[in-house]
Amino acid sequence: MIKKTKLSELSEFDPSKYLDDDEAVAHYISLAIEDGDPGLLAAALGDVARARGMAQVALDAGLTREALYKALRADAHPRFDTIYKVCKALGVRLTATVA
C-alpha cells in the first residue's frame, strides 16, 4: 500500500541548504540571470546570502541586515549598486557574453 503524504506535512524547500560550494553558487546565480527576471536574481542572491550567513554578507556589503533582507526579496527591485555590493560580498562576479 502507498502511504499518502499531505501537502501540509511537507517542509518548505530551502535552496540555501544546497548552496555549499562556489560552483553550485555560480551555477545557481547564472540560471537566475538567464531567466531574465530581476526579482528572481534578487531572490537567488538572497538564497546565497542566507547560505553564507546574512549578517556577514550584510557587513561585507556595507548594508544593514534588514536592508539586505529587503533588497533580496523576490518582489524587490534593488538598485544595481546594491546588487553589485552583494555580489562583491559573496565573491561573485557578473560577466557579460555575446548572446
- Average pLDDT over the chain reads 92
Beta carbons of 86 and 45 less than 8 angstroms apart: yes
Residue 82 C-alpha cell reads as 546594491
Q: Is it the case that residue 99 has pLDDT exceeding 90? A: no
Confidence grade of residue 7 (pLDDT, cut at 50, 70, 90): confident
The amino acid at 18: Y
Domain regions of the chain by residue span: 19-90
Determine whether 4 is exposed, middle or buried from the number of CB atoms within 10 Å of its CB (0-12, 13-18, 19+).
exposed
> Distance between CA atoms of 43 and 71, rounded to whole angstroms?
9
Q: How does pLDDT run across 28-55, given as a tens digit for each residue? A: 999 999 998 888 999 999 999 999 999 9
pLDDT of res. 9: 83
Please write the tens of the pLDDT for every residue from 54-84: 999 999 999 999 999 999 998 988 999 999 9
